[in-house]
Amino acid sequence: MRILFYTGKGGVGKTSVAAASALRCAQRGYRTIILSTDAAHSLGDSLGVELRAEPIQVLPNLWAQEINALHELESSWGQVSKYLADLLAWQGVETIAQGELSVIPGTEELFSLLQIKRHYDEQRYDVIVVDAAPTGETLRLLSLPDIMRWWIARLFPIARALLRVVRPVAKRVTDMPIADDDVLASAQQAIDALVDVRNILTDQQVTTARIVMNLERMVIREAQRSLTYLSLFGYAVDTVVVNRILPPGVDGHFASWREMQQGYAPQVDEMFEPLPILRAPHFPREIIGAEQLTVLADHLFGERDPAAFLYRGPVQRVEKMANGYDLIVPLPFASEDQVHLAQSADELLISVGWHRHRIVLPQSLARLRAQDAFFEQDALRVQFRRGAA
């Protein structure tokens, strides 16, 4: 199975590019499904069909769905939400507010990612194309399973042991709802499933992310940050898509825009090298329906197979040294003044800007201490040595 994960700043044409990729995969004979995890669904508009929460076949070899995030939340987090609602009711919160407050912000979109695991487990399709939310939202969602797993690993054993002691006493002295083992087990199961999704998306033999951008300064900067943060969290990127390039011969208002784009084009080539860059022109009409999407796919891929790995770059790795080990983490576009490290037992916390990632260290590194860190080209090299402070 192959998973293609399209992300990019809002408004760059990401949905059209994802839909064109899925259509071309289907035309090449792959059983393909494209699904939208963006809360503001526009995939159905792009395909020119009305989609539902369950997959429907829209063309030969092509299925599509717009995930109902609320339904995914209720089916995966329902017991926990019910307990939180009961607790809020005990506190006197109004009935309508109970439903709103019992949902942790952002979890609806997070649980929509479980559909990826479902299709991966069922193996009914050869290719899964994901039309993801805009970059910032996607990065937040992709980092949440790690954060939740960290808290669960530390708090759940304590909470379960404490509840076994407190629950019998609490029921005699208060009518406050106390979470039972089923609620904790349900939360554990849901978080384990989200961690499985993260493992699927970081499996570089299966999944690659693709960043869609336009030739505008702010969008280019966003794409650079996306590549840094995706690399930080272990997601492989195999191409950059430059969309909506104005053609020669435009005049008036669009002539200055084309001049600006032409100025940025060579910079993009240098910035994202050695990633391949796919290009698509600005079309005179909306890209809606199979015919227009086929034209877009022709511009993007030509004779190339969209399901192929368009680039295989460096991955996080450990190298044996004479007096210890080095951990190499690819971090394109990052600089030493942006990166901060902290080590605690068998974990290394890497902070880049506002994003943090905890790396669980292998035993060979966990018994050592991080001594130094520096950049080599686009990778951060962290040196672990015996007796280092």
Q: What is the CATH number of the domain that holds 115?
A: 3.40.50.300
3-class DSSP assignment, residue 336: coil
Tokens of 193: 């499933």
- As a whole number of Å, the CA-based R_g of the chain is 24
Q: Using the 3D structure, point to which of 261, 278, 313 is the last residue of a domain.
A: 313
189 with 335, same domain: the answer is no
- Phi–psi pair at 251, nearest 5 degrees: -130, 180
262 with 367, same domain: the answer is no
293 with 380, same domain: the answer is no
380 with 254, same domain: the answer is no
Q: Using the 3D structure, point to which of 289, 313, 337 is the last residue of a domain.
A: 313
Report how many domains make up the chain. 2
97 with 188, same domain: the answer is yes
91 with 218, same domain: the answer is yes
pLDDT of residue 347: 80
255 with 377, same domain: the answer is no
Q: Using the 3D structure, point to which of 279, 313, 347 is the last residue of a domain.
A: 313
Which of these, 355, 304, 298, 294, lies nearest to 138 by C-alpha position?
A: 355
Report the predicted TM-score, pTM, of the whole model to 2 decimal places. 0.79
pLDDT of residue 271: 87
Tokens of 97: 């507010």
328 with 307, same domain: the answer is no
> In which domain, by residue range, is 342 found?
317-385
Helix 253-272 and helix 217-232, axial crossing angle in degrees, nearest 10: 30
Walk along the chain (389 residues) in steps of 10 and give the mean pLDDT of each run: 93 95 98 87 90 92 86 58 55 48 53 86 96 71 61 54 54 54 69 82 93 94 86 88 93 88 91 92 93 97 96 84 88 87 84 78 81 89 79
The residue behind tokens 């506002």 is 354
The residue behind tokens 């669904």 is 41
pLDDT of residue 103: 47
216 with 343, same domain: the answer is no
Burial class (CB in 10 A: 0-12, 13-18, 19+), 13: buried
3-class DSSP assignment, residue 345: coil
pLDDT of residue 167: 55
CATH number at residue 353: 2.60.40.790
CB 327 within 8 A of CB 348: yes
58 with 146, same domain: the answer is yes
296 with 327, same domain: the answer is no
92 with 180, same domain: the answer is yes
